[in-house]
Amino acid sequence: MSGIVHGGNLAAARARYGEPPGDWLDLSTGINPHGYPIPPIPPDAWLRLPEDDGLEALAAAHYGVIDARAVLAVAGSQAAIRTLPTLLPPGRAGIAQIGYSEYAPAFARAGHEVVPLPESAFLGDLPSDLQHLVVVNPNNPTARLLPAETLRDWHTRLHARGGTLIIDEAFIEAFEDGPTLAPLAGMPGLVVLRSIGKFYGLAGARIGFTLAAPELLTALREALGHWTVNGPARAVVRAALADTAWQAATRAQLQEAGARLSALLDRHGLPNAATPLFAWAPAPHAQALHAGLARLGIWTRLFDAPVSGLRFGLPPDETGWQRLADALASLSHSA
């Protein structure tokens, strides 16, 4: 498995390529560039230690979870990804070869045998001897989106042999009626991770939710300790989860922007798979394209193994869209 690498690492871009005219256009993440407008934060959120403020109950209602005890706010999905493997019985853990790079090291450190899975495994050739399986849905970066029926079947099979299905739904909220398993939260052997950073554009708040059986969440809560999510972040997310009008309008805008990004890449010879928040363009010349775009001040996320490709996030404005179009045209003409 490859090492841990993330997008949004503009320091690396500046160190290698300097500061371009017009500043960097950072397309290296799948974060909504038009995040939720931060409301005024009550002074008590700063003055008092976080306490039961109804956030988990609100998240349960938002995600369709019947039992609020099956929802735990955590300091971003990252906190759960690092800790959950230590709470599961050691076994063979299937993790995508091309995917979010934090899972494999976390499971390996906890004593699990990590089984790297090619994309074909998720399309019908899943090994039958796994105890645990991680599915990012849609997958980051390949945009593979699995139906809920498939995930429910995998959960049934894994649970029957004492295993666990972990579904990372960091990008699912951008879809209309996405195939989420969140309403099944609370069932043994099922963990669903939901992110606030991507759709809501609040990555800096470092808050997300783990949906799982109450017994597992009790163990996770004890492992993470007290006050893992700060009060101001909790206040902002309560407002964001309650703002259904903003959610609906943003979802429609992201659907349009994702389709626009996909079409733009297609026009410049980059067949791709897309979500509303990012597009994945596998290409043998991805490394050269990544460097060429960087020299023009556009930072993308490069994947070089086992498949070479680029992930493109959404430009934040029309100036950004035009810069990307001009850069792709320039590079395609010079190839």
117-145 average pLDDT score: 94
Calpha distance 83→106 (Å, rounded): 8
Question: So what's the pLDDT on residue 311?
Answer: 97
CB of 131 closer than 8 Å to CB of 162:
yes
Q: What is the pLDDT of residue 306?
A: 87
Residue 200 above 80 pLDDT? yes
For 243-284, write each residue's pLDDT tens digit: 999 999 999 999 999 999 999 999 999 999 999 999 999 999
Phi-psi region of 327 (alpha: psi -120 to 50; beta: other; left: phi over 0): alpha
For 221-227, what is the mean pLDDT?
95
Cβ–Cβ under 8 Å, residues 166 and 128: no
Q: Is the dihedral of CA 238, 239, 244, 247 positive or negative?
A: negative
According to DSSP, residue 279 is labeled E
Q: 275, 143 in Cβ contact below 8 A?
A: yes
Measured distance CA(3)–CA(120) in Å, rounded: 22
Backbone dihedral region of 189: left (phi > 0), alpha (psi from -120 to 50 degrees) or beta?
left
- Domains 10-35+245-334 and 43-242 are alike in CATH topology: no
Range 261-266 contact pairs with CB under 8 angstroms and sequence separation of 24 or more: 261/312, 261/314, 261/315, 264/321, 264/324, 264/325, 264/328, 265/312, 265/328
Q: Measured between alpha carbons, how far is 228 from 215 in angstroms, rounded to an integer?
A: 19
What pLDDT was estimated at residue 1? Answer: 47
pTM: 0.95
Q: What is the CATH number of domain 43-242?
A: 3.40.640.10
User: Hey, what are 10's tokens?
Assistant: 């503009």
Instruction: Give pLDDT, residue 334.
Output: 63
212 bridge partner residues: 191
CATH topology for 10-35+245-334 is: Aspartate Aminotransferase, domain 1 (3.90.1150)
| In the predicted structure, residue 150 carries a pLDDT above the cut 60 | yes
Domain ranges for the chain: 10-35+245-334, 43-242
Output the average pLDDT for the chain.
95
- Do residues 235 and 42 touch, judged by C-beta distance below 8 A? yes
